[in-house]
Amino acid sequence: MSDKSAHLLIVDDEESIRSSLRRVLRRDYELSFAASAAEALALLKTMERRPDVILSDHLMPEMTGLDFLKRCRLLYPEIGRVILTGQAEMQMVISAINEGAVLRFLTKPWDDDELKLTLYMVVDQLQSAREAQQRRAAPAAAPEPDALEPGARELDALEAQHPGLTQLTRDADGAIDLSADLDEEP
């Protein structure tokens, strides 16, 4: 992701963590930062371009990262959610994943390569889901004339000159069955 096409919102109450994440991710993503869940919620309301992914610390004053991400899931379900914590409580992880509050879970201290790979996979998953949704929502387009099977243009031209020509009865080999057409009265 070197084109900075994805936008991340990083939420952590520690400036040193935000600074470290900025250093690791600035080349690959457009970044926004918040020092608390409340600040992040206020920022989300006013952002011109919402983030593709929120990377949030779990243990923060006033509101946990999990509670914040649950709220984000309700308000902004299209945004991916990743939680980052130094306190990896297995029950919290299971709960967060089962409730759909988070897509991925990372522990502090993180490995830079693992962090980048995790975010790349989340962004890729979200982009694939959006593309699939757009394909489902798009009306089926008529085939382009060049996409028609060979000879289709010629058949269309013949049908225009001789209406009913393409409606002839054909046998199993595809040959025109003249006996069927002769039996019919005009």
- DSSP for 105-160 reads EEESSPPHHHHHHHHHHHHHHHHHHHHHHHHHHSPPPPPPGGGSPTTHHHHHHHHH
Instruction: Work out the mean pLDDT of the chain and round it to a whole number.
Output: 82
Please give the Cα distance from 174 to 184 (Å, whole number). 20
- Quick check: 105 and 93 in contact, CB under 8 A? yes
What's the CATH code, domain 7-137? 3.40.50.2300
Pairwise pLDDT comparison (141 vs 87), residue with the higher score: 87
CA dihedral of 107, 99, 135, 121, whole degrees rounded to 10: 10
Report whether 128 contacts 122 (CB < 8 A). Answer: no
pLDDT at 142 over 60: no
Structure tokens at 182: 């002769």
Asked if 28 and 1 touch (Cβ cutoff 8 Å), the reply is yes
| pTM assigned to the model | 0.70
What is the mean predicted confidence (pLDDT) over 91-117?
Answer: 85
> What does residue 166 show for φ and ψ, rounded to 5 degrees?
-80, -5
Check whether 168 has a pLDDT greater than 50: yes
Is the model's pLDDT at 36 over the cut of 90? yes
Give domain limits for the chain: 7-137, 145-183
